[in-house]
Amino acid sequence: MSDESALPLAGIRVVEAAHFVAVPSAGALLADLGADVIKIEQPPRGEMYRRSRPRYGGYDSDFPENPAFHMDNRGKRSIVLDLTKPAELDALTRLIGTADVFLTNLLPKRRVKYGLDHETLLARHPRLIVGAINGYGLGGDEADRPAFDYAAYWARTGLMDAMRDEGVAPSLQRPGVGDHAAGSNLVVAVMAALRLRDQNGKGRYVETSLLQTGLHVMGNDVALSLVTGTPVRRHDRTRAPNPLWNSYPVAEDRWILLVMIEADRYWEPLCKAIGREDLLADERFQDGFGRAENAEALIGELEATFQQAPLEEWKPRLNAAGLIWSPVQRLDETIADDQARAMGYFQGLEHPEAGPFETVGPPLRMTGVAVGATEPISPVDADRRAVLREAGLSEDEIDALG
């Protein structure tokens, strides 16, 4: 009888030759689901992203490595291989021969250079799943164009232009936002390919790109532009057509966001919750059309009211009324959020030098299964001998690699 609590990818081996965020985040999710993930790091000291300590960014922290690196590489084993050295490249190809999945973010030309392109790998290993992410996709003129998600996902797709209020300069995206979305997309593709292999025994190549992922994330607006041929209208909080779907400042330099898209349903409860029943009798605001026509005036009224009290006073009043809203939280508040804590969205790991620390857990839950890698990635190259033995290298061959 099968163990229903077993992780779904137990017994699946993944080899990951990738750096920074997008593909490694996919590898971390596969590790969360039980896969044995082997990360190929760069010589001589491992991936550069690993070594970006918080102190380098101005934070008062002695954490010896990059916490974000550990989030995206939890549960993996580490081995350093120099692909420019034939013997070490051969060791990697032999290791890939033991794997079910190979993940990479090498640019297509580099994949071909090292014999890691999917055509070569699938010819050697017909059951292998090869998964990749690059900036702009495998075809077209920009397949080998280097990219970070800031460029291909944020700026190129229209997200950077659209996600700002009218008259405000574009903002720089926060790190890894598009990468994590792309990583999740790649996991979906890998899981589907594994399912097909279960049925017919054949491996295949799967991919997403930062550009493709951004278009999907921006899909509602992209779909509208595809039909209308025009850019989307930016939000202008001073003239929002639905003032109940808007941001407002409150006292002590804080903000809230109202999201009552069905405005008629929530108009009376909102007015009562904020002590502005007088607005219910104002002929300008009797229905959605009137509130839209007189949006500036209503927004001015709501803004003046909300600024009379601090966030902590508004929370119980808005919650008691059953309104759809949220405080605009700072990250130091988010990591202490009662709901996130109650749901276990952060998980503990043990760093070999720093000791216990918390990181962001997997973005999914599964009944009866404890999803989530419980160990951090190994120290740089810590699993070298064990991994190479599993790849079939003799002790003499391992010694010869140095």
| DSSP-assigned beta bridge partners for residue 104 | 17, 132
The beta strand positions in 48-174, using DSSP E, are 76-80, 101-104, 129-134
Q: Are 208 and 186 in contact (CB under 8 A)?
A: yes
Res. 396: pLDDT tops 50: yes
What whole-number distance in Å separates Cα of residue 70 and Cα of residue 273? 44
Q: Are 108 and 134 in contact (CB under 8 A)?
A: yes
Considering the chain, tell me which residue range(s) the CATH 3.40.50.10540 domain(s) occupy: 13-219+338-401
Q: How many CB atoms lie within 10 A of CB 167?
A: 8
The string of pLDDT tens digits covering residues 221-255 is: 999 999 999 999 999 999 999 999 999 999 999 99
The string of pLDDT tens digits covering residues 134-167 is: 999 999 999 999 999 999 999 999 999 999 988 8
CATH number among 3.90.226.10, 3.30.70.20, 3.40.50.10540, 3.60.15.10, domain 13-219+338-401: 3.40.50.10540
CA angle 192, 196, 199 (to 5 degrees): 145
Q: How many CB atoms lie within 10 A of CB 258?
A: 23
Tokens of 203: 């491996």
pLDDT band at residue 402 using 50, 70 and 90 as cut-offs: confident
- In this prediction, residue 166 carries a pLDDT of 85
Rounded to 5 degrees, what are φ and ψ at 346?
A: -115, 145
The string of pLDDT tens digits covering residues 170-194 is: 999 999 999 999 999 999 999 999 9
Report the relative pairing of strands 76-80 and 36-41 from DSSP bridges: parallel
* Torsion angle of C-alpha atoms 105, 110, 112, 114, degrees rounded to 10: -100
- In this prediction, residue 321 carries a pLDDT of 98
The string of pLDDT tens digits covering residues 281-313 is: 999 999 999 999 999 999 999 999 999 999 999
Q: Are 356 and 349 in contact (CB under 8 A)?
A: yes
CATH number among 3.30.1540.10, 3.10.20.600, 3.30.70.2660, 3.40.50.970, domain 245-328: 3.30.1540.10
Res. 2: pLDDT tops 60: no
- Helix, strand or coil, per DSSP, at residue 275: coil
Sign of CA dihedral 61, 65, 70, 75: negative
Q: Are 13 and 34 in contact (CB under 8 A)?
A: no
- Helix, strand or coil, per DSSP, at residue 4: coil
| DSSP-assigned beta bridge partners for residue 40 | 79
CA angle 374, 71, 371 (to 5 degrees): 40
What whole-number distance in Å separates Cα of residue 108 and Cα of residue 93? 17
What whole-number distance in Å separates Cα of residue 187 and Cα of residue 264? 41
What whole-number distance in Å separates Cα of residue 83 and Cα of residue 115? 10
Sign of CA dihedral 63, 65, 67, 70: negative
What whole-number distance in Å separates Cα of residue 54 and Cα of residue 265? 47
The string of pLDDT tens digits covering residues 103-140 is: 999 999 999 999 999 999 999 999 999 999 999 999 99
Tokens of 15: 């080899």
- Helix, strand or coil, per DSSP, at residue 339: helix
Considering the chain, tell me which residue range(s) the CATH 3.30.1540.10 domain(s) occupy: 245-328
Q: Are 67 and 54 in contact (CB under 8 A)?
A: yes
Mean pLDDT of 327-331: 98
The string of pLDDT tens digits covering residues 25-75 is: 999 999 999 999 999 999 999 999 999 999 999 999 999 999 999 999 999
Res. 382: pLDDT tops 90: yes
Q: Which of 377, 67, 20 is nearest to 182 (CA)?
A: 20
What whole-number distance in Å separates Cα of residue 8 and Cα of residue 368? 11
pLDDT band at residue 1 using 50, 70 and 90 as cut-offs: very low
